[in-house]
Amino acid sequence: MVIPESLLEALEKARSITVLTGAGVSAESGIKTFRDPDGLWSQFNPAELASVDGFMSNPELVWQWYQYRRQIINNAMPNAGHYAIAEMEKLFKNFVLVTQNVDRLHQRAGSSKVWELHGNIIDNHCFNCKRPYIGETNLPDKQLPKCPVCGGLIRPSVVWFGELLPFEALSAAEEAAYNCDVFLSVGTSAEVYPAANLPLIAKRSGAFVVEVNPNRTAISHYMDVCLRETSAVALPKLIEEYKKFISD
Ligand code: OAD
């Protein structure tokens, strides 16, 4: 994979850089994506497992699935792609990281500020009164955790289909897309809105837009540059080439 000089020049001139990540950035940590041929949505039904209706009709099944995913995520480690993004924060001023991922691997790799558009899978809160829940989730006899204040069912703090995205994170992400000079869309199929709109906002606002993805996506044709590699290979290489470029 060759890093085009146009990208290195754009990075050198940029006053601000925004990165959007999706499930692909965690694929090399052993966490399945959603829409690849072996992805989660090829095995599981999102309407049953990732929607309010699904939770209301079968909370036991939804809990079982999130506990299973939590186990995988807890045992996973950040990969070279996550570490490269954490380094970019130090390398570039006005760097904004936005993720659709719920796994917190960016934070574990050292990214200090991450706008989480789809919440996170670590925390829980009450489905009814929305209060955070910090109690036990693995209860005996398949009991489900309940809110100690209102008795409502506890749910994982992820955003489900049909739910609104967290307002502050979405506003910050849109502002960062409008205002950046370089926008990188990394490891996302760009199929899910409003996140998928961010690279397009950046493009329309005049940013140099880049896709890092081994495969074509719905928005590839808008891109100034596509790095057709995995993020754990492409991003460290991009940083290495950029450092060489600015020292010449
Ligand atoms: P998808 O599963 O839709 O897309 C993953 C993308 O990552 C694909 O385009 C792959 O080609 C690419 N990919 C795979 N391995 C990669 C690697 N090693 N390096 C770089 N790219 C790689 O995942 P998202 O776009 O994140 O939402 O999906 C968006 C949302 O849909 C998720 O946040 C989730 C899901 O339903 C909710 O749960 C609300």
Interval 161-186: pLDDT, tens: 999 999 999 999 999 999 999 999 99
User: Quick one: average pLDDT of 218-239?
Assistant: 98
pLDDT, one tens digit per residue, over 112-131 is 999 999 999 999 999 999 99
Q: Average pLDDT of the chain? A: 97
User: Quick one: average pLDDT of 139-148?
Assistant: 91
Mark whether 22 and 83 lie in a shared domain.
Answer: yes
Å from CA of 232 to ligand 1 middle: 14
Mark whether 90 and 61 lie in a shared domain.
Answer: no
Which pLDDT does position 140 carry in this prediction?
86
Mark whether 131 and 239 lie in a shared domain.
Answer: no
pLDDT, one tens digit per residue, over 186-206 is 999 999 999 999 999 999 999
Å from CA of 101 to ligand 1 middle: 9
Mark whether 46 and 135 lie in a shared domain.
Answer: yes
pTM exceeds 0.85: yes
Which pLDDT does position 79 carry in this prediction?
98
**151 touches 130 (CB < 8 A):** no
Query: Active-site positions?
Result: 118
Mark whether 96 and 148 lie in a shared domain.
Answer: no
Instruction: Please state, for a pLDDT cut of 70, what percent of the chain lies above it.
Output: 100
Range(s) of the domain holding residue 246: 1-31+77-118+165-248
Which pLDDT does position 218 carry in this prediction?
93
The answer, yes or no, to whether residue 65 has pLDDT greater than 90, is yes
3-state secondary structure 129-141: CCCEECCCCCCHH
User: Quick one: average pLDDT of 63-76?
Assistant: 96
In angstroms, the Cα distances linking 74 to 49, 60, 78, 110, 124 are: 20, 21, 11, 16, 15
Least confident of 14-18, 40-44, 73-77, 100-104: 40-44
Mark whether 142 and 20 lie in a shared domain.
Answer: no
Rounded Cα gap, residues 170 and 184, in angstroms:
17
Pick from 20, 3, 6, 58: nearest CA to 201: 20
Mark whether 190 and 239 lie in a shared domain.
Answer: yes
The answer, yes or no, to whether residue 33 has pLDDT greater than 90, is yes
Q: Which atom of ligand 1 is nearest to the CA of 34?
A: 2
Among 1, 28, 36, 118, which is best to mutate for testing ligand 1, by the most ligand atoms less than 8 A from CB?
36
Mark whether 137 and 230 lie in a shared domain.
Answer: no
How many domains does the chain fold into?
2
Which pLDDT does position 141 carry in this prediction?
81
User: Quick one: average pLDDT of 132-155?
Assistant: 94
Which pLDDT does position 142 carry in this prediction?
82
Query: Does residue 156 line the site of ligand 1, with CB under 6 A?
Result: no
Which pLDDT does position 248 carry in this prediction?
84
Mark whether 180 and 221 lie in a shared domain.
Answer: yes
Mark whether 220 and 142 lie in a shared domain.
Answer: no
Mark whether 22 and 51 lie in a shared domain.
Answer: no
